[in-house]
Structure 1
Amino acid sequence: MSSGTEHEDHFRRVYAVNFKALLAYAMRRVEQPEDAADVVAETFLVAWRRSREMPPEAEARLWLHGVARRVLANHHRGGARRGRLGDRLRQRLRVAAAVDPGSEVPERLTVRAALAQLNELDREVLTLTFWEGLEPREIATVLQVSPAAVRTRLSRARTRLRELIGDDLDPGGHVLDVMAERVPKEGR
């Protein structure tokens, strides 16, 4: 028999003799049976990789339990990390869910429909102002017109948009509330 075959035979015997004991060991230390199966699989993978270090069959059981103990420690650390990540994600979802995005849909659709009825330049001035947060002098640079022309265009576009939308939308923190605010005067 070759050394490789003896080595594989030794591993198979150790596996057959110790599998059930290691599975029971792992099941008593994890919450889910699937996790126990993973721990045992990882334990035997480590044992296979380090099989040249594995003691004779009589002592292999204790050595495998030591490997399983370290695999379990890694499993629990990973679970703690996953738990902390889950907590952070749940917190973010709670914050995001506090504002129901569906509640804004009708108002957004109304605004988009009204914007679609404006001419291209009016629509561009409004969206650059309210969605992009640009000031009239910045919009003037983008559109290659004077800041005064932008202010005039913005005033007219807001009036046209108000006429199309009306004032009957619920003022619940949506885009229209922002549009009703005064644009700060800028220095010339």
Structure 2
Amino acid sequence: MPPAVEDPHPPDDRRRRFEEIYEANRVQILGYALRRTADAQDAADVLAETFLTAWRRLDDVPRDGAARLWLYGVARRVLANHHRGERRRSALAADLGLRLRTGAAEPERNLADVGPAFRSLSEADRELLTLVGWEGLDHGEIATVLGCSRNAVRIRLHRARRRFARALERANAGPVGRPLPTAARIPNGEHP
């Protein structure tokens, strides 16, 4: 058995260093985030993510006065990710709004029947359909979440979709031969 390698930074020293960095820079990094976000909650999230990165990469944080500059760089990248996420959410909301406005004019499907039909499904079927439609997961990701094989996911999803189609037909929601909205399709062109 090889000899144990001593940690060059014992846990107490590590925590103390992080706390010093946090206390010395928290106000400036929060101000930086507040000036670049829409609300205080977003700024607090940016601050938390910045210092989480600092904790994880504490050995990379410069030991001199450059720590603040390093933190600004991290906060800048966190903000870039935050803004990309906001743009994606805005685009999705606009797309959904458009779909709802244009879809409401289509008499083929009564949207009021979709909710009851969906709720009539088993919990397992609802979970599968929401993991695909709302969470946007592919078969492999769903298999990881559910702890089963990709093939089992494929089969279960095919059956869940069939049961949902039948529930919609029973609810007099109109023909279900139309394709599902893009968000409800399986990503990457996979088929059940």
Under a length normalisation based on structure 2, what TM-score does the superposition of the two structures give?
0.50
Instruction: Report the equivalent of 2:92.
Output: 85
Q: CA deviation at 1:97?
A: 3.0
Partners of 1:59 and 1:7 in 2: CA distance: 18
Question: 1:38 and 2:45 equivalent?
Answer: yes
Which entry has the higher C-alpha Rg, 1 or 2? 1
Unmatched tracts of structure 2, length 5 or more: 1-8, 114-169, 177-192
Q: CA deviation at 1:52?
A: 1.1
Question: 1:5 and 2:27 equivalent?
Answer: no
3-state secondary structure, aligned to 1:98: coil
Inter-CA distance 85–132: structure 2 relative to 1 (3 Å threshold): closer
RMSD: 2.7
Partner deviation per Cα, 1:122-162 (whole Å, 9 max, x = no partner)? xxxxx9xxx779xxxxxxxxxxxxxxxxxxxxxxxxxxxxx
Question: 1:49 and 2:56 equivalent?
Answer: yes
3-state secondary structure, aligned to 2:38: coil
Q: CA deviation at 1:33?
A: 1.3
Inter-CA distance 98–13: structure 2 relative to 1 (3 Å threshold): same
Partners of 1:132 and 1:22 in 2: CA distance: 55
Inter-CA distance 69–132: structure 2 relative to 1 (3 Å threshold): closer
3-state secondary structure, aligned to 1:55: coil
Under a length normalisation based on structure 1, what TM-score does the superposition of the two structures give?
0.51
Q: CA deviation at 1:3?
A: 2.7
Q: Which has the higher relative contact order, 1 or 2, with Cα contacts under 8 A spaced 6 or more apart?
A: 2
User: Which one has a larger percent helix, Structure 1 or Structure 2?
Assistant: 1
* Matched ranges for 1:1-188 at <5 A: 3-98=10-105
Asked if the contact 1:39/1:71 (under 8 Å) is kept, the reply is yes
Asked if the contact 1:11/1:51 (under 8 Å) is kept, the reply is yes
Identity of aligned pairs, percent? 47
Partners of 1:132 and 1:29 in 2: CA distance: 48
